[in-house]
Amino acid sequence: MGTATFIQDEAELDLLLKNESLLVVDFTATWCGPCKMIAPFMDQLAEEYSDQIKVSKLDLDSNKGIAKRFSIRSIPAVLFFKEGELKETVIGAKPYENFKSVVAGLL
């Protein structure tokens, strides 16, 4: 079963960006209500596309430098990377179809 796993630090993120052809990163925080709303969507993406994409979560409270690096000003923010390059950003609690359509467009 696919689930979105947590990235621990910037070094791990950089490794994933280098090694994954399509990476989805959910920038989240434990205190963020809307983040909790979309968390099941990230697991659903990970499950549905388990053989095509890598879905991860990143806690911004313990990775503030990464927020600055990608100019994250509000969360939830879901960033879509293809071949290590940022292709799309979805900000806020959106329906699952929004995230799925971005993935489908990048495949």
1: pLDDT strictly greater than 60 = no
Which residue among the candidates 13, 24, 32, 53 is catalytic per the annotation? 32
Q: Which of 61, 26, 21 has the alpha carbon at shortest distance from 41?
A: 26
**Residue-level pLDDT at 11:** 96
> In the predicted model, what is the mean pLDDT of the chain?
95
**Residue-level pLDDT at 2:** 72
Strand partners, 79: 25, 89
Q: What is the CATH number of the domain that holds 69?
A: 3.40.30.10
Could you report the per-residue pLDDT of 60-87, keeping only the tens digit for each?
999 999 999 999 999 999 999 999 999 9
Is 35 designated active site?
yes
Sheet containing strand 77-82, edge to edge, reads 5-7, 54-59, 22-28, 77-82, 85-91
Number of domains in the chain: 1
Alpha-carbon separation of residue 55 from 44, 68 (angstroms): 10, 21
Q: What is the pTM of this model?
A: 0.95
Which residue among the candidates 13, 23, 35, 79 is catalytic per the annotation? 35
Provide the domain limits for residue 53. Answer: 5-106
Query: What percent of the chain is predicted at pLDDT more than 70?
Result: 99
